[in-house]
Amino acid sequence: MVDFSFTDEQELFRKAVREWTEKNLPIEKIREMDSQGRIPHEVLKSMGEMGLLIMTAPQEHGGTGADWVTACIAAEELGYADVSIALPVLWLVESSWGYVVDRHCSEQVREAVIRKAIKGDAFIGIGSTEAGGGSDVAAFKSTARKQGNDWILNGEKTYISGTEEAKRLGGGYFVIARTSPAPPEASHRGMTGFYLPMNAPGVEINKRYDDMGRMAISTGGFLMKNVKVPDSNRIGEVDKGFYLTMEGFDTARILIAAVCTGAARRALDIGMEYVKERKAFGKPIGKFQGIQFELADDWAHLEALRSLTFRTAWMMDQRYKEDRFTPLEVSKMIAACKLIAPHFAFDVYKHAMIWLGAYGYTKECPLEMGLRGIMSYCVGAEGATNIQRTIIARELLGKEYIAYK
Ligand SMILES: Cc1cc2nc3c(=O)[nH]c(=O)nc-3n(C[C@H](O)[C@H](O)[C@H](O)COP(=O)(O)OP(=O)(O)OC[C@H]3O[C@@H](n4cnc5c(N)ncnc54)[C@H](O)[C@@H]3O)c2cc1C
């Protein structure tokens, strides 16, 4: 029998997260974070106390051992609460990459960053993208050379979320670097994952971007100049880092989809409240079908997206717990979620903004923060839209149809 309901525990968890967001993330606080360009440390500490940070990490590592459906419930509630989506971004970057690092790291790395990040006292992010491009991971130029029991890292990473947070709170990044020459037929082989602490000698933050949105989390870049890290900072097996990077993208993308469902629901709620009150031609504008139909379409698509997202999160749980689906089957579904969710959420914000007329275009109205924030996921944070299409087409047609091979 198919059962699409959440468990009582999951419903209670949703209620607790909602109460937390209502108390800690009122709209005035979001505006303050957006204009000041930072998330207060006490907000992260409070999330840590609630067990919200890297919550899928096992209890023995400091997490709550939550499943991915439960993590998506948190993502949805955070996406609803923080219209700017800065806090959901920070949360999901840590939740996904922290989870993958924790799964494959040494006890030293766990002590150095994971346990602290779970309490809100450190930041862990992803340092994948390079100046030459982010989509073609196999073409990255950063290198890691073995020297005794250490590795020497060189290269540059750019458009990286959380560089200022990592500097301020402590912590670092999962980075991927080439460790062996690539065989011509498989350029993705020969790359290895490492934990790079931002305070390691030779790490230099060299950029801070002035982004369009999600202002309360920084985006920057850093150089690695002969950075020495011990072998215990290696994440996973030598030359297998590409696969860990793909695992991390999968975990991030499902959470993005859930954040976007929350964000879209918020825009719809703001829009619905307004169209019931605002009058034109003697009637509430919600009485006009021109508005009703778009609103009904958005709601229907939102329900479809939520079903796809939570079904995919459930598949992810089966993959991790029972090996029931292959990683590629799950990746295809996740790519479908990431393909649809940000563009859909962006459209709902745009529609609601238009229903709100001139007021919708002002900074007094929270919708503009949503539009600016969501756009980062349309552009490509955690993987460009066309890359999601490439993954889906590869799984549908077969590897021999990959365009760039
Ligand atoms: C706000 C923000 C935060 C970010 N944070 C991080 C972070 O924390 N860590 C990190 O590592 N990266 C981060 N990124 C970078 C992000 O991962 C990259 O933007 C993304 O991977 C795409 O890379 P690119 O921007 O270099 O675009 P490119 O790879 O240069 O692609 C440019 C365009 O070409 C298209 N394209 C590329 N290849 C193909 C193809 N084969 N077929 C069809 N179209 C194609 C893409 O869809 C895209 O539209 C962030 C980006 C943003 C916007």
Answer yes or no: is the C-beta of 84 below 6 A from any ligand 1 atom: no
Answer yes or no: is the C-beta of 236 below 6 A from any ligand 1 atom: no
Report the relative pairing of strands 219-230 and 143-147 from DSSP bridges. Answer: unpaired
- The CA-atom distances, in angstroms, between 104 and each of 13, 58, 122, 238, 240 are 28, 13, 19, 12, 11
Q: For a pLDDT cut of 90, what percent of the chain falls above it?
A: 92
Residue from 94, 135, 245, 387 whose mutation best tests the ligand 1 pocket (most atoms within 8 A of CB): 135
Cα end-to-end span (Å), the chain: 43
How high is the mean pLDDT of the chain? Answer: 96
Residue 283, pLDDT above cutoff 70: yes
Residue 86, pLDDT above cutoff 80: yes
Residue 1, pLDDT above cutoff 80: no
Global model pTM greater than 0.95: yes
Supply 92's token pair.
């999901």
- Among protein residues, the one whose CA lies closest to atom 48 of ligand 1: 384
Tell me the per-residue pLDDT of 196-239, one tens digit each, with 9 for 90 and over.
999 999 999 999 999 999 999 999 999 999 999 999 999 999 99
- Ligand 1 mean position to 335 CA, how many Å? 14
- Among protein residues, the one whose CA lies closest to atom 2 of ligand 1: 381
- Residue 283 pairs in a beta bridge with 280
Residue 105, pLDDT above cutoff 70: yes
Three-class SS string for 360-396? Answer: HCCCCCCHHHHHHHHHHHHHCCCCCHHHHHHHHHHHH
Answer yes or no: is the C-beta of 404 below 6 A from any ligand 1 atom: yes
Answer yes or no: is the C-beta of 159 below 6 A from any ligand 1 atom: yes
**Mean pLDDT along residues 278-282:** 98
- Ligand 1 mean position to 182 CA, how many Å? 22
- The amino acid sitting at 91 is W
CA distance 3 to 164: 44
Domain made up of 124-241: CATH architecture: Beta Barrel (2.40)
Tell me the per-residue pLDDT of 311-364, one tens digit each, with 9 for 90 and over.
999 999 999 888 889 999 999 999 999 999 999 999 999 999 999 999 999 999
CA distance 351 to 131: 35
Residue 53, pLDDT above cutoff 90: yes
**Mean pLDDT along residues 358-381:** 96
The answer regarding whether domain 242-401 maps to CATH 3.20.20.10 reads no
- Scanning 154-279, the segments in alpha helix (DSSP H) are 163-169, 241-277
Of all atoms in ligand 1, which is nearest to the CA of residue 385? 47
The predicted structure's pLDDT at residue 2: 79
Answer yes or no: is the C-beta of 36 below 6 A from any ligand 1 atom: no
- Among protein residues, the one whose CA lies closest to atom 52 of ligand 1: 381
Answer yes or no: is the C-beta of 379 below 6 A from any ligand 1 atom: yes
Q: State whether residue 308 is helix, strand or coil.
A: helix
Would you list the domain boundaries of the chain?
A: 8-122, 124-241, 242-401
- Among protein residues, the one whose CA lies closest to atom 11 of ligand 1: 128
- Among protein residues, the one whose CA lies closest to atom 38 of ligand 1: 135
The predicted structure's pLDDT at residue 311: 97
CA distance 72 to 52: 11
CB atoms closer than 10 angstroms to residue 283: 10
* Cβ contact 170:116 at 8 Å: yes
- Among protein residues, the one whose CA lies closest to atom 24 of ligand 1: 134
Report phi then psi at 114, rounded to 5: -65, -50
Answer yes or no: is the C-beta of 158 below 6 A from any ligand 1 atom: no
- Among protein residues, the one whose CA lies closest to atom 37 of ligand 1: 135
The predicted structure's pLDDT at residue 188: 86
The predicted structure's pLDDT at residue 404: 73
Residues ≥6 apart with Cβ < 8 Å to 55: 63, 64, 66, 70, 71, 74, 95
Answer yes or no: is the C-beta of 380 below 6 A from any ligand 1 atom: yes
Tell me the per-residue pLDDT of 21-48, one tens digit each, with 9 for 90 and over.
999 999 999 999 999 999 999 999 999 9
Residue 19, pLDDT above cutoff 70: yes
**Mean pLDDT along residues 257-270:** 98
The answer regarding whether domain 8-122 maps to CATH 1.10.10.60 reads no
